[in-house]
Amino acid sequence: DQQVKQNSPSLSVQEGRISILNCDYTNSMFDYFLWYKKYPAEGPTFLISISSIKDKNEDGRFTVFLNKSAKHLSLHIVPSQPGDSAVYFCAAENQGGKLIFGQGTELSVKP
Amino acid sequence: DTGVSQNPRHKITKRGQNVTFRCDPISEHNRLYWYRQTLGQGPEFLTYFQNEAQLEKSRLLSDRFSAERPKGSFSTLEIQRTEQGDSAMYLCASSLVRAVTDTQYFGPGTRLTVL
């Protein structure tokens, strides 16, 4: 059973516009969520996180929103840049700190 | 701070051979995690250490897999009698556990190909 789901395998956005990446989870006990960015042949790079006591966290061009009642989170990138093209993974922290990842969404930002 | 490092970056081996990977975490990080990622999937948890103690192992970690973290510093992941299904990217991450949450920082991974 997939506890963390990213239902869009890919997303294409024009440079300068907003990118919205979505993530759903099933376990209401999850209370800490993270977004990672991954380039080919590299490990995931931490982007931004959010605790369940908040519904929004911002860091520069990146904002994560958390809707606990819907068990849904989203990552907004504004404005999108070609260098943002990568695979984005959302993850939920489980017992012991281990992360449960979604399948990833490949973002392509076109000039 | 040089980040998490992993060696080797790539390993090609024949079925039935043993392989060992090494992970050097960020210094002073007390937790170290191993994950495996296959094509089109997100990383899947394998095992983790707090200092030198191995606290949890996933069902994915068969008896052919063993991990160690002597002295709570670097860690090794050994796969014995490799099978083609072991071909994957093996990722290591480390974190410094604080009161509530911790952020895991990943290494570049070791890509294993079993022929």
> Would the CB atoms of A96 and B107 count as touching at under 8 Å?
no
Q: Which chain B residue lies closest to A10 (C-alpha atoms)?
A: B40
- Asked if A104 contacts A18 with a C-beta cutoff of 8 angstroms, the reply is no
Do the beta carbons of residue B52 and residue B25 sit within 8 Å?
Answer: no
Digit-coded pLDDT (tens) for B22-45 = 999 999 899 999 999 998 899 999
Report which of B2, B32, B1, B4 is spatially closest to residue B106, judged by C-alpha positions: B4
The token pair that represents A11 in the structure block: 């997303």
CA distance B106 to chain A (A): 6
Structure tokens at B96: 């410094």
Instruction: Among A36, A43, A103, select the one facing B107 at the smallest CB separation.
Output: A43
Identify whether the C-beta of residue A63 lies closer than 8 Å to the C-beta of residue A75.
yes
Smallest CA–CA separation between B72 and chain A, in Å? Answer: 17
Q: B44: which strand partners? A: B36
pLDDT (tens place) for every residue of chain A, 111 residues total: 789 999 999 999 999 999 999 999 999 999 899 999 999 888 999 999 999 999 999 999 999 999 999 999 999 999 999 999 999 999 999 887 899 999 999 999 999
